Amino acid sequence: MVKQYQKHAKMLQALSHPVRLQILDILSRSPACVCDLVFQTRQRQAYISQHLMLLREAGMVRSTRLGVKNQYELAHPEEMTNLLNCLLEVQQPKPSDQGATKMSNTNNNAVWHGIPRDQIDWHPAIVAERCVGCGLCVTSCGRGVYAFDYEANKPAIVAPQMCMVGCTTCATICLQDAVEFPSRGYIRQVIRQNKLLTQSKNLLKENRQKYDVVARQAVNA
């Protein structure tokens, strides 16, 4: 009799850790490889792999081999997403409360193609061991994403949501390869899930005067 509840007990045990909940929450938005999860949770790879193994054993996550990487996704997306929504809704402050606790320069009301910016996890992360403190990322970003920690001689990310979605300029110009971003796969998933190609085609149609090459050339002549 007790046996039939063992599977459920294992699942509840798997849910009882904040990092595993965070991993499930991330996977409920899109599949991800370990490096995406490491980036988004800011945890070590070995630590994330350990939690992923537990989630797999509990039957909550499955993985698929994609080239040299494993891609992880929820084993039962609909059920898991509903369960997470119930759990996280209870735990998290309402959107109206969140604004008050955020920093004033995080652009709280920003949207990207209609998606609230705070739902898109796109911003740089600094690999401190590789960074030599030249400050080029800080002085090149025109959006105020960075400040400089003069004590530590390292850049600091102070306004992550000001980073332009899809932009990787600071990573490109860092000679030490010390700036990292989520994978291109992550942002492409956001584009697909939100049907942004259709939206873009509609915008082109509706705003011909704004985008038309002939009209633009005439303005710039």
Contact residues: ligand SF4, CB under 6 A = 124, 126, 131-137, 140-141, 143, 145, 155, 163-164, 167-170, 174, 176, 178-179
Is the Cβ of residue 66 or residue 127 nearer to ligand SF4 in the bound state? Answer: 127
Closest distance of CB 204 from ligand SF4, Å: 24
* C-alpha of 132 from chain center: 26
Is the Cβ of residue 17 or residue 143 nearer to ligand SF4 in the bound state? Answer: 143
Going by their DSSP bridges, the two strands 115-116 and 125-126 should be labelled as: unpaired
Is the Cβ of residue 81 or residue 183 nearer to ligand SF4 in the bound state? Answer: 183
Distance from C-alpha of 195 to C-alpha of 119, rounded to nearest angstrom: 16
Is the Cβ of residue 89 or residue 129 nearer to ligand SF4 in the bound state? Answer: 129
Is the Cβ of residue 102 or residue 143 nearer to ligand SF4 in the bound state? Answer: 143
Contacts of 152-159 with C-beta under 8 Å, sequence gap 24+, read 154/126, 154/128, 155/126, 155/131, 156/126, 157/123, 157/124, 157/125, 157/126, 158/103, 158/105, 159/103, 159/105, 159/106, 159/107
Closest distance of CB 114 from ligand SF4, Å: 20
Helix, coil or strand: residue 160: helix
Other C-beta atoms closer than 10 Å to the C-beta of 213 total: 7
Closest distance of CB 149 from ligand SF4, Å: 10
Closest distance of CB 138 from ligand SF4, Å: 6
Closest distance of CB 72 from ligand SF4, Å: 26
Dihedral sign, Cα of residue 184, residue 180, residue 112, residue 98: positive
